Chain A
Amino acid sequence: MNDALHIGGKALSSRLFIGTGKYSRNTLIPEVIARSGSEVITVALRRVDPASQEENILSHIPPQMTLLPNTSGARTAEEAVRIARLARAAGMGNWVKIEVINDQRYLLPDNLETIRATEILAAEGFVVLPYMSPDLSAALRLRDAGAAAVMPLGAPIGSNRGLRTKELIGILIEEAGLPVIVDAGIGRPSEAAEAMEMGAAAVLLNTAIATARDPLGMAEAFRGAVAAGRQAYLAGLGPVQQEAEASSPLTGFLNV
């Protein structure tokens, strides 16, 4: 079955996007990539510290991966645009995860600035994947601005709290008219499966794998969960009802 996810001119067979932050050691990353089956991976852009011999994260990412640089640290559309242009100058592709945040406690995205940044960067030919609060009118504006997908949060970044915004994400999936990738908050494979069962196009997660006791085992668990959820969505979930409906015949009982 060909069930590729088409984004930015690429056909992706994996619907699990992963991040590269918070690993106890970066040498885990190639194995996490292999065990997760992921094809898209996020990175951040930061000033080089001359006092640290911290290696460039790219040395741990196989070249066939699609790099999704984020604009973390941006507080305005202009800052996000600047970061995106710098990332593209690295020559590693033109995908960008727009992340504009002004709330330091919950790291909730600023949808208005995110829409402005999307307009500018999509016009410059970027494949724009905006991290956003799951608001339908914002999603529609992002679509009109040229976003390749929208990436609503399930719960605050790094919280592992799951699909707290489930109802709103469901509305985006129904109404937004572009792929919905659940980004942030997913902590368990069952939550990733649930997002996929709902019809999410993909999920993006980092903390859930990176902070697991065994990141490699967890990467594989998420791979299975995302695939199972997607298959369930395509198969069509059975109807839900309040009262029982016998699965066995109600005639021919032996004790009558």
Chain B
Amino acid sequence: MKLYINGNETELDEACATLADLLSRPEWKERRMIVELNGMIVGRDDFGTVLLADGDRIELVHFVGGG
């Protein structure tokens, strides 16, 4: 399955069925992030039920220092 995560094309195995599966991977877990899937914000409570599909565009953002 091919996903676009923060603009980067990423190939994932089919074990990543839900958003929660993806976000439990080592590079993403333990981070406080806001998640957008194909332009729609996904609430934390829905991570476990939102299914990923080939070609999905995912934005993972967080707060950084700024003025």
Contacts and interface: CB of A to CB of B under 8 A. Distances in A.
Interface residues of B, number: 20
Interface bracket on A: 35 or more
B41 A89 contact: yes
Contacts of A47: 6-7, 59-61
Contacts of A85: 41
Contact of B63 (A22, A23, A90): A90
A43 B63 contact: yes
Contact of B6 (A19, A20, A48, A206): A48
Contacts of A46: 61-64
B30 to A, nearest CB: 9
B38 to A, nearest CB: 13
Which 5 residue pairs spanning A and B have beta carbons closest together? A44-B66, A19-B67, A206-B67, A50-B27, A20-B65
Interface of A: 19-23, 26, 29, 42-48, 50, 54, 56-58, 67, 69-70, 72, 85-87, 89-90, 157-158, 184, 204-207
25 contacts: A19-B65, A20-B66, A21-B65, A29-B65, A42-B66, A43-B65, A44-B63, A44-B66, A45-B63, A45-B64, A46-B62, A47-B59, A47-B61, A50-B28, A54-B64, A56-B64, A57-B64, A57-B65, A69-B63, A72-B67, A86-B36, A86-B61, A87-B34, A87-B63, A157-B67
